[in-house]
C-alpha cells in the first residue's frame, strides 16, 4: 500500500488488520469483558466540543513541549505495549526510529519483544525514552532489568504500571488459543537474554497471549512497600501508570520528589472493564484536587484517534498524551514507515487543530478552548 493514501488512524488500522496474523490482531484489538471501557475511550473525546477563537494570527504553529524538563517535538508519545514484533519484524526498534524522525518520546514495555539495548541502539541525540516496569514476583529479575536500564542514558524515567496486576478477561485474545497455540515471540524479560527475539516453543498461551505474558507478574505491590524498594534499585524519576481516580492521583502527588508524573489510563480498556476513561479522571482531578497539576505532571492515554483528541486532553491539563494501538497498527501496516505515517497524521491533525483554535503554541491551550459539559459527572 501507498502509506500516503492512508489519511487517518482508521485507514491504518484497516490495512494492518489485513496484513498481520489473526493472533496478533486479536491480541492488539482485545480488551476486558465487553469492551465498554475501550469503546468509551474511543468515543469520549468526541463529546467534548472545541471553542475556537477567530480573527487571530496563527501563522506559526509550534507543537513542541516538555516532559519532566526534556524537550519533545510533539505533545504525544508511544505507550508501552508488549510484543511489537507480532506486527512486524521492525518491532520496537522500528517504533524507536519512527519516534526519532518526529522527535517523539517512546515508552518501552517490560514485555517488549526486543531488548531495551536493541530498541535504543540507533537513538538520536536528544531522543528520549522511558522504560515500563511490571514488578516480577521474582524481584531479582526486576532488579536486574533496572540495573540494565541504568546503563542506557537515553532512558530518562521508570514507568511503573499499576492497573493490571492481573490482565483483564480478554476474550478476543483467548479465543485465539484455538489457532496456532504458541506465543510466537518471547518477551525480552521472559527470555532473560540480551538478544532473544526468536520463538518461544514452550509457552502455550492458554487464556491468550495476555495471560502468558502476565505469568510471574507481582500482585502484592503497595504504596508503602514498593516505592522504597524501587528507590533502592533506580535513581531515575518514577512515573506511575494506570491511575483511574482523583484519590489515587492525589496520593501519588504526596510522593514527590520520587514520583514526578502519573499517567491516567485504563490500560486501553484491557484491565478492568467499565473503569473510566482518562478524561473522566482528568476532570475529577480538576474538580477535587487541582493542586495535583502543580505538584506532578499528569499524562493520559487511551482511545486517541485524532489530533483534536490530543488537543482536548492538553486543554484539560494533560502534559502529554499517549497512543497505544495506533502505533502497533502503524507497524503492522508498514513497519517503521507505517509508524512514521501514524505520527505524521497525528502531528498534522494536532497542528491544524491548534491553529484553528487560534493558537500557536501548546502552552496557550487551556480550558477556555473546550466545552466538556457533556462528559462531566456528578
Q: Which residues bind ligand FNR (CB under 6 A)?
A: 27-28, 41, 79-82, 109-111, 132, 161, 241, 265, 267-268, 270, 301-304, 322-326, 328
Rounded distance between C-alpha atoms, residue 290 and residue 295, angstroms: 10
Say whether 255 is catalytic. no
User: Please, what is the minimum distance in Å from the beta carbon of residue 95 to ligand FNR?
Assistant: 12
Say whether 163 is catalytic. yes
Phi then psi for residue 13, to 5 deg, are: -65, -35
Residue 199: count of CB within 10 angstroms of its CB:
12
Q: Which of 29, 93, 163, 301 is catalytic?
A: 163
User: Please, what is the minimum distance in Å from the beta carbon of residue 73 to ligand FNR?
Assistant: 20
C-alpha cell at 292: 495535583
Rounded distance between C-alpha atoms, residue 101 and residue 72, angstroms: 12
Say whether 28 is catalytic. no
Question: For ligand FNR, which is the closer residue by CB, 135 or 354?
Answer: 135
Question: For ligand FNR, which is the closer residue by CB, 56 or 166?
Answer: 166
The region that residue 242 occupies, defined by phi over 0 for left and psi between -120 and 50 for alpha, beta otherwise, is left
Beta bridge partners of 130: 107, 157
Q: Which of 134, 173, 233, 369 is catalytic?
A: 134
Rounded distance between C-alpha atoms, residue 309 and residue 321, angstroms: 9
User: Please, what is the minimum distance in Å from the beta carbon of residue 277 to ligand FNR?
Assistant: 10
Question: For ligand FNR, which is the closer residue by CB, 91 or 322?
Answer: 322
User: Please, what is the minimum distance in Å from the beta carbon of residue 291 to ligand FNR?
Assistant: 25
Question: For ligand FNR, which is the closer residue by CB, 304 or 354?
Answer: 304
C-alpha cell at 106: 517512546
Rounded distance between C-alpha atoms, residue 118 and residue 153, angstroms: 14
Which residue is it, cell 540480551?
194
Rounded distance between C-alpha atoms, residue 76 and residue 64, angstroms: 10
Q: Which residue is nearest to ligand FNR (CB)?
A: 324
| DSSP conformation class of 80 | P
User: Please, what is the minimum distance in Å from the beta carbon of residue 265 to ligand FNR?
Assistant: 4
Q: 271: helix, coil or strand?
A: coil
Q: Which of 267, 273, 301, 369 is catalytic?
A: 267
Residues acting as catalytic residues? 134, 163, 267
Amino acid at each position: 500500500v501507498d502509506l500516503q493514501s492512508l489519511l487517518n488512524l482508521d485507514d491504518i488500522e484497516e490495512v494492518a488488520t489485513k496484513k498481520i496474523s489473526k493472533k496478533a490482531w486479536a491480541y492488539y484489538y482485545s480488551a476486558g469483558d465487553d469492551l465498554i471501557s475501550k469503546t468509551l475511550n474511543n468515543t469520549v473525546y468526541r463529546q467534548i466540543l472545541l471553542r475556537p477563537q477567530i480573527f487571530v494570527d496563527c501563522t506559526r504553529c509550534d507543537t513542541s513541549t516538555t516532559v519532566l524538563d526534556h524537550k519533545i517535538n510533539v505533545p504525544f508519545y508511544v505507550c508501552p505495549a508488549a510484543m511489537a514484533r507480532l506486527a512486524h519484524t521492525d518491532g520496537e526498534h522500528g517504533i524507536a526510529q519512527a519516534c526519532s524522525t518526529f522527535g517523539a518520546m517512546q515508552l518501552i514495555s517490560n514485555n517488549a519483544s526486543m531488548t531495551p539495548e536493541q530498541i535504543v541502539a540507533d537513538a538520536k541525540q536528544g531522543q528520549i525514552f522511558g522504560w515500563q516496569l511490571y514488578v516480577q514476583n521474582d524481584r531479582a529479575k526486576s532488579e536486574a532489568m533496572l540495573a540494565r536500564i541504568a546503563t542506557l542514558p537515553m532512558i530518562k524515567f521508570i514507568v511503573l504500571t499499576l492497573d493490571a496486576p492481573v490482565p483483564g478477561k480478554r476474550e478476543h485474545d483467548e479465543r485465539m488459543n484455538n489457532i496456532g497455540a504458541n506465543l510466537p515471540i518471547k518477551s525480552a524479560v521472559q527470555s532473560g537474554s540480551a538478544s532473544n527475539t526468536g520463538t518461544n516453543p514452550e509457552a502455550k498461551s492458554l487464556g491468550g497471549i495476555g495471560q502468558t505474558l502476565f505469568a510471574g507478574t507481582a500482585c502484592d505491590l503497595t504504596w508503602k512497600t514498593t516505592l522504597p524498594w524501587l528507590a533502592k534499585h533506580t535513581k531515575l524519576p518514577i512515573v506511575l501508570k494506570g491511575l483511574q481516580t482523583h484519590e489515587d492521583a492525589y496520593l501519588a502527588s504526596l510522593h514527590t520528589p520520587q514520583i514526578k508524573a502519573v499517567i491516567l489510563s485504563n490500560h486501553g480498556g484491557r484491565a478492568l472493564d467499565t473503569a473510566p476513561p482518562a478524561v473522566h479522571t482528568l476532570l475529577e482531578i480538576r474538580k477535587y484536587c487541582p493542586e495535583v497539576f502543580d505538584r506532578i505532571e499528569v499524562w493520559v492515554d487511551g482511545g486517541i484517534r485524532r489530533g483534536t483528541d490530543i488537543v482536548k486532553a492538553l486543554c484539560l491539563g494533560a502534559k502529554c498524551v499517549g497512543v497505544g494501538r495506533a502505533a502497533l497498527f502503524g507497524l503492522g501496516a508498514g513497519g517503521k514507515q507505517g509508524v512514521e505515517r501514524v505520527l505524521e497524521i497525528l502531528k498534522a491533525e494536532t497542528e491544524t487543530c491548534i491553529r484553528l483554535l487560534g493558537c500557536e503554541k501548546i502552552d496557550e491551550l487551556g480550558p477556555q478552548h473546550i466545552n466538556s459539559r457533556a462528559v462531566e459527572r456528578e
